Chain A
Amino acid sequence: MEGGADLSSVFERVPFGRSIGADDVTESFAFFDDWEDRYRYLIELGRELPPLPDACKTEENFIHGCQSQVWIVHRTDPATGRLQFAVDSDALIVRGLAAIVLAAFNDRTPAQILAADIEGYFASLDLLRHISPTRGNGLRAMVAKIRRLAEAAG
C-alpha cells in the first residue's frame, strides 16, 4: 500500500490511549476554569496527532457528518488484538476533539471499545457543553465509526 511505511509510524506515534489516556484528559479539563485554558489545551492535543499521509485521505476513510474534513484509519495489532487508530482533520479544534476520542479508544480491544462509557466521558468534560450541535454531531460520527470498526473486528 502506498505510504504503508509512513502510516505504520503514524500509528506508533499516536500518544492518545497510551501516554495520554482518558483519565489524563478528564483530570486536565477539571483543572481549567475558563474557556481559554480549555481551548488552548484542546488545540495542544490536536497538535500532538501525527498527520496522515495524503494517500490515506480517501473517501473510504472520510467521516461524514463533520463540518470540516476528517479522516480515520485503523489497524489491528496482531500481537495483542487491539485496534489502533489515527485521525486527521484540516481543522485544529476537530483534531483536538479527535484526540479526546482516541484517548478513550486507541489501542484497546474491540470488547473494551464497545464497553466504554463514552457519553459519561464526554459529560465529564465541560468543554462539550459549549460546542455547537453540528460539531457535537461530528464528534458522534467519529465515535460511531470507531464503534462500527470495533464491531466488525470483534
Chain B
Amino acid sequence: MNSRVIAGFDVDAVRREFPILDQQVNGQPLVYLDNAATMQKPAAVIDAIAHYYRHDNANVHRGAHALASRATEAMEQARERVAEFLGGVAREEILWTRGTTESINLVANSWGRANLQPGDEILLTTMEHHANIVPWQMVAAATGARIRVLPITDDGALDLEALPGLLGERTRLVAITQMSNVLGTVNPVAEIARMAHAARALVLIDGAQAINHFEVDVRALGADFYALSGHKLFGPTGIGVLYGRRELLDAMPPWQGGGQMIERVSFDGTTYAQVPWKFEAGTPHIAGAIGLGAAVAWLQNLDRDAAERHERELLARLDTGLDAIAGVRRIGTAAARAAIASFVVDGVHPTDVGVLLDQQGVAVRAGHHCTMPLMARFGIPGTVRASLAPYNTLAEVDRLLVALDKALGFLR
C-alpha cells in the first residue's frame, strides 16, 4: 500500500520538517514510535531556539537594554501564543513550569497546602501517571487529606458509573488525565468536570498526552487547572505550562520564592508580584518558552483535522496488525482511544521485545510507563507501547509489525 495518501495529508512534507527522522539506527532507517515519551522537533522549533541564543539572549524583565527587551518580548509573545492555543485564555493564566510534573506539583504545593483540610478528598483515577499521583500523596500526607481512586473497566475506560459514589462533600479536587499514556484512552473530561463542579470540587486535567493530538479549549473542558509539557508538544524539554483560572491563581500563595516573583523585598516583609510572575521565581527557561511558542505556531499551521485522521488510520492499522499476531494481547481497547497501542505477549517480557525492536531500528517503549497502579490493575509487569505522531507512516507501522514478528521468533 502507498504510505503517502491518507485523506490528503502529505506525510512526506511533514516528515521533511523533522531533521532527526532522517537517520539510520543499527543499520536501518529509524522508525520512531516512542512519541508518547517525547515528540521530535520540527526545524522551526530548533531554529527558534538557536536564533534566540545567537541574537537575543538576555535576562528577562529586568535589563534596561535592547537585548533584554527583545528576550522579554519573545518570551511574553510565546505566553500569548500558548494562551490563544488553549482556547483564548488570558496570558496571566499561563504559568511557565518545567513540565507537566512541575505544573501538578505547583498546584499540589500551593493550592493544596493552602486549602486541604484533614478528611478532604482528592479524586484520582487508576490510569494516572505517577506525576499525577505522587504529588497528591505528598500533599495528602502533609495536610491529612485522603486520596480516592476512580477505577477503570477491563477495556481500559474510566468506570463512570462509579463516579457519583466517589464524588462527595469532601471532594475538593478531581485530578485526571485527558488521555492515558499507556492505554491511549481518551477520557470524557468535560463530562467529568461538570459532575465534579456540581459537587463543588475543582478539576485539574493532565493534558500531557492529549494536547498534541487534539485541539484543546481549557474553558470548554471545564478545567480549573490544565497541565502540559512542551516536549510532548513538538517543543523543547524543560518547559511546560500550567493554566489556572485567574481567580484561583490570584488567591494561591507562591510556591517558590526568589527573584522575579516579588514586588518589593525588605527584611520586614516582602510583597509578591502579580500572576503569572508570582509563580515564576528565578530566571525562567527563556529559550524553552520561545521554543514552545514556535512549536505552537508550527502546530497552528498544521491541518490538525487531517493530522488526526492520519493518526487514526495509523492506529487502526497498528491495532489490526497486532491482533493478527498469535499470543499478542493489546492492553487498552476502549472505544475512545488515540495514537497509542500497548500490548503484552504471552510468556515474553516486554523489555526483551523492546531490545530486539531497537536492534531493527524501531524505537518503542517497554516497561511500566510510570503507571505502576495501572500495571497492577491488569496484573502485568509492563507493556510494549508504540505511540504515533503525525510524521509516522503506514510503512513504519508495517516495519514495526514485521520487526515484532521477528523478535518474537527469537523469544519463544
Contact of A90 among B26, B349, B367, B410 (CB under 8 A): B349
What residues on A are CB-neighbors of B351 within 8 Å? 67-68, 91, 93-94
Contact A130 B359 (CB under 8 A): yes
Given A68-B349, A92-B349, A92-B411: A131 touches B355 (CB 8 Å cut-off): yes
Question: Most chain-B CB neighbours within 10 Å: which of A35, A40, A93, A131?
Answer: A93
- Cα separation A131 to B354 with both chains bound (whole Å): 11
Given A68-B349, A90-B349, A130-B26: A39 touches B381 (CB 8 Å cut-off): no
- Give chain A interface residues in 12-48, CB to chain B under 8 Å: 35-36, 39-40, 43
A2 to chain B, nearest CB (A): 24
Contact A135 B355 (CB under 8 A): yes
Q: Quick check: is A80 within 8 A (CB to CB) of the other chain?
A: no
Given A39-B356, A39-B359, A40-B410: A91 touches B349 (CB 8 Å cut-off): yes
Contact of B381 among A90, A94, A130 (CB under 8 A): A90
Contact B26 A92 (CB under 8 A): no
Contact of B359 among A35, A43, A69, A91 (CB under 8 A): A35
Q: Quick check: is A132 within 8 A (CB to CB) of the other chain?
A: yes
Given A35-B26, A43-B410, A69-B381: A91 touches B352 (CB 8 Å cut-off): yes
- Cα separation A24 to B352 with both chains bound (whole Å): 24
- Cα separation A77 to B349 with both chains bound (whole Å): 33
Q: Which residue of B lies closest to A67 (CB)?
A: B351
- Cα separation A33 to B352 with both chains bound (whole Å): 21
What count of chain B residues pass the 8 Å CB interface test?
A: 13
- Cα separation A39 to B349 with both chains bound (whole Å): 15
- Cα separation A35 to B381 with both chains bound (whole Å): 27
- Cα separation A91 to B349 with both chains bound (whole Å): 5
- Give chain B interface residues in 343-379, CB to chain A under 8 Å: 348-349, 351-352, 355-356, 358-359, 367
- Give chain A interface residues in 122-149, CB to chain B under 8 Å: 130-132, 135
Contact B352 A132 (CB under 8 A): no
What residues on B are CB-neighbors of A43 within 8 Å? 410-411
What residues on B are CB-neighbors of A35 within 8 Å? 26, 359
Contact A67 B352 (CB under 8 A): no
- Give chain B interface residues in 109-154, CB to chain A under 8 Å: none
- Cα separation A92 to B358 with both chains bound (whole Å): 16
What residues on A are CB-neighbors of B381 within 8 Å? 68-69, 90
B403 to chain A, nearest CB (A): 12
- Cα separation A92 to B356 with both chains bound (whole Å): 11
A146 to chain B, nearest CB (A): 22
- Cα separation A134 to B116 with both chains bound (whole Å): 39
B279 to chain A, nearest CB (A): 34
Q: Which residue of B lies closest to A34 (CB)?
A: B27
Contact B352 A92 (CB under 8 A): yes
Query: A66-83, CB under 8 A of B: which get 1 and which 0?
Result: 011100000000000000
- Cα separation A19 to B364 with both chains bound (whole Å): 37
Residue positions of B touching A, CB distance < 8 A: 26, 348-349, 351-352, 355-356, 358-359, 367, 381, 410-411
Q: What are 22 A-to-B residue pairs whose CB atoms are below 8 Å?
A: A35-B26, A36-B410, A39-B356, A39-B359, A39-B410, A40-B410, A43-B411, A67-B367, A68-B351, A69-B381, A90-B381, A91-B351, A91-B352, A92-B348, A92-B349, A92-B352, A92-B411, A93-B351, A93-B352, A94-B351, A132-B358, A135-B355
A43-B411, A130-B26, A132-B355 known, 6 other contacts, Cβ within 8 Å: A39-B359, A67-B351, A90-B349, A92-B349, A92-B411, A131-B355
The 7 A-B residue pairs with the shortest CB-CB distance, nearest first, are: A91-B349, A35-B359, A91-B351, A93-B352, A68-B351, A92-B352, A91-B352
